[in-house]
Each structure stands twice: as structure tokens, then as C-alpha cells.
Amino acid sequence: MTTRYTKDHEWIRLDGEVATVGISEHAQSALGDIFYVELPEIGRKVEKGGEAAVVESVKAASDVYAPVGGQVVAVNESLDGSPATINEDAEGKGWFFRLKLDDPGQLDELMSAEDYQAYLATLE
């Protein structure tokens, strides 16, 4: 299972026909303590690069964009009661939603973990 990243600091991990999406460790660290998450509705269609969720922290409110196009098939309901899970495990238990992809080929347009680390180095 390979994880891919966007320049907006989302990650996506494909498992069969469904991909899990969240924000990167870098993003949660930059946001600080997260206290609210607005998740998309199950069944909603999202476009690649389109707004899919909202995360609010002590520092800012931020949109979470869909790394690829697809249909939302699941959301991480545990974040409603415990948004701090994102701070604790952004690239694991802190996932936001799952997508059934329109075009798995869109994953090829995203950065590998190594490319993402190199991209982060250019931001410092």
C-alpha cells in the first residue's frame, strides 16, 4: 500500500478499489491543536483538487482537498468526538474519509513519500 501526497499536504493510500485520505504530519504540525473537523457526506462526489472537508485548529481553519476524484464511501466518525486524533496520528487513525476512485491513474500525478519530503525541504 503506497502513500501519495499533494502540495496541499493531503495524503492518500489506496487499498483495493478504495483510498483513504487525510492530512500529513507536516500539516497537522503546522495547524497546531485541532479542535473541529467537518467531514464530507457519504455518497458525495468530489473532484480532484476540490474542497472535501474542513479542519479547524487553534491557529487556523483550513480546507482539505480531494487528492483525486471519486465518491465518498466512508468518513472517520470517531473524529467528531475526538478531533485531536489527527494531531496524535495524522497518517493513521486520524484519517478523514475514504473514496471510491473515478480514475486510479490520477494517483500517478501525486508525489511519493520521498518526493513529498523533498518538496517540504523547499518550503523551509
In the sheet that 18-23 helps form, which strands lie side by side, from edge to edge? 3-5, 10-15, 18-23, 97-101, 70-75, 45-46
The reported pTM is 0.96
User: Is residue 67 in a domain?
Assistant: yes
User: Is residue 111 in a domain?
Assistant: no
Q: Could you list the residue range(s) of the whole structural domain that residue 60 is in?
A: 3-101
For residue 94, what is its C-alpha cell?
Answer: 486520524
C-alpha dihedral over 106, 118, 14, 34, to 10 degrees? -110
**Domain total of the chain:** 1
User: Is residue 97 in a domain?
Assistant: yes
User: Is residue 39 in a domain?
Assistant: yes
Nearest to 40 by CA among 32, 30, 31, 50: 50
Residue 28 half-sphere exposure toward CB, CA atoms < 13 A: 23
Q: What is the pLDDT of residues 9-68, one digit of tens each?
A: 999 999 998 999 999 999 999 999 999 999 999 999 999 999 999 999 999 999 999 999
User: Is residue 106 in a domain?
Assistant: no
Q: What is the pLDDT of residues 73-114, one digit of tens each?
A: 999 999 999 999 999 999 999 999 999 999 999 999 999 999
